[in-house]
Chain A
Amino acid sequence: MQLALWTYEGPPHVGAMRVATAMKGVHYVLHAPQGDTYADLLFTMIERRGQRPPVSYTTFQARDLGGDTATLFRDTLADAFERFQPQAILVGASCTAELIQDDPGGLARALALPVPVVALELPSYQRKENWGAGETFYQLVRSFCGDEKPARAEDAVPSCNILGPTALGFRHRDDLREIRALLGEMGVRVNVAAPLDATPADLSRLAQADFNVVLYPEIAGPAAALLERRFGQKQTRIVPIGVGATRDFIREVAALAGIDPEPILSRAQSNLPWYSRSVDSTYLTGKRVFVYGDATHAIAAARVATEELGFTLVGLGTYSREQARDLRDAARKYGVEPLISDDHLEVEAAIGAAGAELVLGTQMERHIAKRLGIPCAVISAPVHVQDFPARHSPQMGFEGANVLFDSWVHPLMMGLEEHLLGLFKDDFEFADGAAPSHLAAEEPVTPAAVLADVAVWDAAAERELSRVPFFVRGKARRNTERFAKERGLSSISLDTLYDAKAHYAR
């Protein structure tokens, strides 16, 4: 058993949901108890999708366990096909259903539906979300990509597939748009982008491309390897996060496409290099930064942090065990100890021990950083609603590099303010523990004694006010005092408090 306060990845069936939800025309029938339907909210609330994920759950209960859960699965599958008319169906089990061993794949075959059914075996007690997404995408590609590579016309423009973006991915939507545009500028045709917005029919066209662009190896790795074996399609190995990596990526793509990278390299620019060289960025020099996330984003962030922002890397870690080797190689390069762990407590200990001044991590590291009193920027899943900004906000490409500069530098104390804090430590408003002014989250509290003509709160009313949640307490105090003043009351009792509340409720 593993003690988990927070988890970095969900179970593998959530990875499968991310692929199913990303695609069009796919429906996932999941053998699972009712509580597992929480996963819908990941997509509808965190990602703010306007449709329910295309998932039907059997939602079996204890009383079904003695009976026939297999029939329940079969009926759910038949109903889902009837109702949603998908082009392809995924079937599988969540962790609890895995234990009751109903064999969704076998049950689905017996039903002989007129559309392809892909059975997923996702071992919930060994594997996790990204692996589940990778395996699901691999199985879908394997089922639909065919065996033969179509002949290539001599004069065809170079073409590629973009593989990896899913629903609920960290900036996947924006990265896809950015890289699609970059490839377009290079004169490379995008044949299919998948899984995001692809249909099963699109997957059957994958073989038509010359090569594959792999954006997220955790997810697209297995499918890209299959396509390389089957059709000889080469794949990109460089993930274009940061200015340097984007330039390397352009060269890599150009080599695969047989085109000259120089025109685009001379044209395309990012603001990051100049912003990093401008004098106000001097205070970024040597900031001790701890990087943790999925392997792809963590390794990329280490390069950007050191080469493009001038930080000092004091730790590098990942929860992606499957990519541990790549991360170890990177850690060796920067001379830091690699941390391969999905144990939140271990990550917390490592960050504390490293004496970091900035954490580039996941939403979970925000908790750690908060406790340690250091700033944090998010570079990787697991995601939060904030990680789906309204604006275009990629991590990849040249615009992505601009986003990285802004979002990593913003949480840091601005240079001069930091000096002042160091100079005047005893200033009561400017204390050691004070957050930088541009990050002030709570409204300043006005001491009651400063205000003239304010009615006096009696003990009971004051006590009651203290029970009001802190984020509305200020408003409750002000409203009540205004109410008392308007009525010429000299003291505030419980009744005044609630009379005022009722008054302002109108």
Chain B
Amino acid sequence: MNAIAPARQTDIVRENGQRSVFCGLTGIVWLHRRIQDAFFLVVGSRTCAHLLQSAAGVMIFAEPRFATAIIEERDLAGRADPEDELDRVVERLLERRPDIRLLFLVGSCPSEVIKLDLSRASARLSRRFAPAVRVLDYSGSGIETTFTEGEDRCLEALVPTLPQDDAPALLVVGVLADVVEAQFRRLFEALGIERVRFLPASRAHEMPAIGAGTRILCAQPFLHNTVQALQRRGGVPVAAPFPLGAEGTTLWVAAAAAAFGIPPERVRAVCEAGEARARTALAAHRSALQGKTVFLFPDSQLELPLARFLQRELGMVAVEIGTPFLHRGALAAELALLPPGSSVVEGQHVDRQLDRCRAARPDITVCGLGLANPLEAEGLTTKWSIELLFSPIQGYEQAADLAALFTRPLDRRTRLAV
């Protein structure tokens, strides 16, 4: 097992300009499927509603558990009382969906600019619909949050409602696929950690407890505010890289084990089989990706762990690692693992970044949905980054799946003869 080396020189540049990223509302697309009795009501404009249905445009399986309360002229001109209007909308919604136990009022750019007080509204509505429905609020606005930060704000809003329990426990934070959660639970139980909890739970009344004995282990790199809120409830964060790839997963599990005083031999015994399996499965991908260059546009904040995985486990070379933000503390372990001389760009000036990308002509470019097809049309191979949030990619058993997200577009290019 690799110990985490002290931070080496990584070139970190800040860039300002047009950003080509989603706002935090987008997180609703996966959050509403994860918490099965929760509903997300965005208080915003027609643009917000349009964003959500465009980003979630593929979902025809079931009625979504999200909606928008669209602010209209009469709300702005004072002809209607926004509080009454919101109450009316919530009433209609809960009537239609009596199965809802947890309602999030989600703030947006317009609701924040007009200073609509959603925390007051959620308290008022919570009193009114208790005990059947709890109403919480958070901001997913584009002026406050970028893409995955929406999940951070949502989980942060849950923290004050979590039950208190000071007994020793491990709390894994961040939305994970069910299958990944089950794998991690087995790993931690095999290590002998008695209480293993996950935030968020799939049901509103099953949310995990928090307290002085809780060790917080982030499964995702974008949960800065949630961790701070959990710390205020007594939890102690565990510093670790993120569970992408065989190495990342082992270091992540080992960090949690260390926090519980579990000896490294035990960790090795528990992780050995999975890690070996992951490495075997990765080998084929490694031969396909070795030496290939990758350019990561800023998007999900998964870029650093991803670049680490692609470089260290698959032998790729990251030309540029963009990230919308860099929380140096939360990502210290990842920064330490990046090859020396890595170029990290925080923030974005999309046109300049595109210029650099075109000049570098990377073998594969990781970018958002707005950029992928135009770059493909220019002859570059791309991987759209939103898939990284919609696929199970964490843990040993998914390491090769994650690699396959990168080999597939390259494979496709070699197959096509049209």
Contacts and interface: CB of A to CB of B under 8 A. Distances in A.
Contacts of B19: 34, 37, 59
B119 interface: no
B54 interface: yes
B93 A3 contact: yes
Interface in B7-58: 18-26, 43, 45-47, 49-51, 53-55, 57
Nearest to B397: A498
A499 B397 CA distance: 9
B86 A99 contact: no
B371 interface: yes
Contacts of A36: 23, 47, 51, 142
B179 A505 contact: no
Interface in B306-347: none
A83 interface: yes
User: Which of A38, A51, A56, A96: most chain B CB closer than 10 A?
Assistant: A38
Given A11-B47, A96-B109, A2 B70 contact: yes
B363 interface: no
Interface in A110-130: 123-126, 128
Interface stretch (A158-166, A180-188, A364-372, A418-426): A364-372
A63 B385 CA distance: 27
B415 interface: no
Given A35-B109, A48-B373, A2 B284 contact: no
B71 A1 contact: yes
A211 interface: no
Given A44-B370, A50-B376, A467-B178, A505 B69 contact: no
A58 B54 contact: no
A506 B85 CA distance: 57
Interface in A64-97: 64-65, 76, 79, 83, 94-96
B72 interface: yes
Given A41-B54, A125-B76, A468 B179 contact: yes
B318 to A, nearest CB: 23
Interface in B348-379: 351, 368-374, 376-377
Nearest to A64: B143
B75 interface: yes
A275 interface: no
B273 interface: yes
Contacts of A51: 374, 377
B64 A7 contact: no
Contacts of B277: 498-499, 502
Contacts of B1: none
Interface string B60-71: 100110011111
B112 interface: yes
Given A3-B93, A4-B70, A505 B373 contact: no
Given A1-B82, A48-B373, A40 B57 contact: no
A423 B68 CA distance: 45
A423 B144 CA distance: 60
A88 to B, nearest CB: 20
B146 A34 contact: yes
A192 to B, nearest CB: 27
Q: Is the interface of B mostly helix, strand, loop or mixed?
A: helix
A322 interface: no
B113 A65 contact: yes
Interface string A33-62: 111111111101110111110001111111
A99 B75 CA distance: 13
Interface in A353-386: 366-367, 370-371, 384-385
A11 B50 contact: yes
Nearest to B47: A11
A158 to B, nearest CB: 39
A96 B143 contact: yes
A57 B283 CA distance: 43
A50 B72 contact: no
A61 B143 contact: yes
B371 A52 contact: yes
B73 interface: yes
Nearest to B75: A1
Contact-residue bracket for chain A: 35 or more
B110 interface: yes
B67 A99 contact: no
A60 B141 CA distance: 12
Interface string A365-409: 011001100000000000011000000000000000000000000
B169 interface: no
Most central of B24, B50, B55, B401 by chain A CB within 10 Å? B50
Contact of B113 (A5, A57, A96): A96
A14 interface: yes
B283 A506 contact: yes
B404 interface: yes
B20 A124 contact: no
Contacts of B109: 33, 35, 95-96
Given A33-B141, A125-B45, A1 B69 contact: yes
Contact of A464 (B110, B142, B179, B372): B179
A446 B258 CA distance: 46
Given A33-B143, A79-B351, 18 more contacts: A1-B70, A2-B69, A2-B72, A3-B92, A5-B67, A9-B46, A10-B46, A10-B47, A10-B50, A37-B21, A40-B20, A41-B54, A41-B369, A125-B76, A367-B60, A464-B179, A505-B401, A506-B283
24 contacts: A1-B85, A2-B72, A3-B68, A3-B92, A4-B69, A10-B46, A11-B45, A33-B23, A34-B146, A35-B21, A35-B23, A36-B23, A36-B47, A40-B370, A44-B374, A61-B142, A62-B112, A62-B144, A94-B47, A95-B45, A96-B109, A370-B60, A467-B177, A505-B401
4 cross-chain pairs, A with B, having the tightest CB-CB distances, nearest first = A35-B23, A35-B142, A50-B377, A40-B370
